[in-house]
Structure 1
Amino acid sequence: MSSGEITLTAGDAEVTVQPANGCRLGSLRLGDTELLRQGDRYGCFPMVPWCGRIRDGRFRDGAVVHQMPLNAAPHAIHGTARDGKWRTGRVDESSAVFTYDLTDPWPYPGRVSQVVELAEDALTLTMSVETYESTFPAQAGWHPWFNRSLGGDDVRLDFAAAWQEERGSDHLPTGRRIAPRPGPWDDCFGMPEGVDVTLTWPGQLELNVKSREQWVVVYDEQKEAVCVEPQTGPPDGLNSTPRFVTPLEPLETTTTWSWRRL
């Protein structure tokens, strides 16, 4: 099928997917209300095969050290798939499947799939990373840019984290877990019972981000948008808390965003 923009609908909800632009969601509209910041680098993109920053762009797999491009010097950030062209598979009115073959500069062959499923009151994103050959460490997650304002008061973020990954001056976790601190944030939080973050635009909309994963990065240092990023490990997790993709065990993760009007 074509790699052109795909639009899914359910009731008055509409989501647009851009396979040729890293399979990012370019738009999520509820009626006339756009929830995502617009622009080629915004919307919501999949972070894979790693999430956030890798320190100095290097990660170790056994005795081998791999170097990734320093696209956020001095670090590598957010994986490679967001810069790739994905293929469009099955599409119907409210759901679609997309795939991407991992390639250079990622050193291991593998395939990523993303399933987008829209309902009238929710959006579910599912990602999997598979390998048919080598076992390798990987991470997966999502980086949505939610509009700070929908035309009224600024959004309010509500969540109860068990811990915060202490952030060093290089924006990477130090390895210490600390009590959650007040924002503004560009920080990773631990939620061992699963990610559960509520965004409330007063008098307009409430949106809940959930995932079975236990890590979420919250970023609210920008005037235009806030980010709530469920992911399978913390930043630099390929080095600190690697999860391995094997021919028998893919890496699979899901997030669901549900909403209600206020």
Structure 2
Amino acid sequence: MQCTQKVISQIDCVGELNQQMRTENVRYLELLNRLRKGQSTIEDYKLLCIRIIGTPNLQASLQQKSRKEAPILVFRNALLTQINNRAVLNKAMEMEFRSIVCLTQDYVKETRIEDSQLRKAILELPDNKTEYLPGYLPLVPRMPILLTENIATELGLSNGTRVIFRQLVYDELSDDIQFDKTVFPKHTKFITQPKYALVEFSSCKLDSELKFDIKELLPESLSKITKMAKRTTKISIKRKALPLTPAYSITTHKSQGQTLSKIIVDLVTPPGPVEVA
């Protein structure tokens, strides 16, 4: 630390970048500058329509299968979770499947959390607070999912890989489970003891289906402030979960480095700093 401070203290000048190097299109560059300042115009909108959708003569519709299956790019994890949950539930209704939600197992000092209020509060934490391990993982056959861990990089199964979910194998256990009734319907089946998930990976080098063993992760930054015995206590949580997340919607951050043939972009800019993907 002292060495770092010594090096920083020797810096006596700062360089300022004043030229955009990623695009040579002057009109588009001006659009980006106005977008960052929240000063977009109707002409900017027309230009984006051409760049994102295509020429004015292109007949495109969100009802087309290829576009209905395109992921929705959003800026915030909270919106991502809502879209993914709703998309999975709608898919289950269309297929007349009972909704299935896989719950994480959370532990404090190697002991499973049994307090219902604390458990519910931790399950409902946004995944950007839990090292991107959501408390609720809704699943339905043939839905797109993303891997959230490097499983077998030599096979192309790495963090961010897009696969198709087929089946969840789990132990049948009766459990008094707390859940958000405003999101999941009453007949939802909650799974607390998953064994593994069967997925389809189109570009895999193996011919057979792959099984992902359940992953036990220990996020360093995961903590929850909760009131216990009228005191504010900070506790560290150890979470066990499948390394999967629905892929109906992804964040602009998660999309970086991916090749997506079609996407749907949410152009409503949320408050606060945003990224240009």
Aligning the two structures, in what range does the TM-score lie when normalised by the shorter sequence?
A: under 0.3
TM-score by length of 2: 0.26
Higher helix share: 2
TM-score by length of 1: 0.27
- Of structures 1 and 2, the one with the larger relative CO (CA 8 A, separation 6+) is 2
Higher strand share: 1
